[in-house]
A = this chain, B = another copy of it.
Amino acid sequence: MKLINREVDYAARALVFMARANKPTVPVAQMQETVGAAGPFLRKIMQKLHRAGVLQAVKGKGGGFALARAPENIRLSDLISALQGPLRLNDCVVRRKLCRDHEACALRRRMEGIEARLLAEIATVTVKDLI
């Protein structure tokens, strides 16, 4: 029902802010107002993105976060997988209860194709597109 949650939304804004900032690192305190998220929450998001390799982090005074690669190489799908985990269009595909003939099921095949195309489209959107 909602493909992009608020964490991804905040992340997108923060990354755009960082891309525009043109500084080696940006501390969370400097972006939270523009992004519109509370500091600790935004920090948690940034930490997830750091762990996922999307961001670099510098601790200590004068530190902050920085994009780990160029904006055109950070895809919306990267954010989604770091912050929401994999998409599952249909529960039934995942935990196949009541689902005989899993391989032969036309719905499943159909949904798989739809899911793959959706992911491919989402992977074409990059942070650069949002600047």
Is there contact, CB below 8 Å, between A9 and B92?
yes
What are 20 A-B interface contacts by the 8 Å CB criterion? Answer: A1-B5, A1-B85, A2-B91, A3-B3, A3-B90, A4-B90, A6-B91, A9-B92, A13-B98, A35-B98, A36-B97, A36-B98, A105-B130, A107-B129, A107-B130, A110-B125, A114-B118, A114-B121, A114-B125, A117-B117
Is there contact, CB below 8 Å, between A89 and B4?
yes
Contacts of A122 in B (CB 8 A): 114
Give the copy number: 2
**Beyond known contacts A9-B91, A107-B129, A117-B117: 13 more, CB 8 A cutoff:** A1-B84, A1-B88, A2-B91, A4-B90, A4-B111, A6-B91, A9-B90, A9-B92, A105-B130, A110-B125, A110-B129, A114-B118, A114-B122
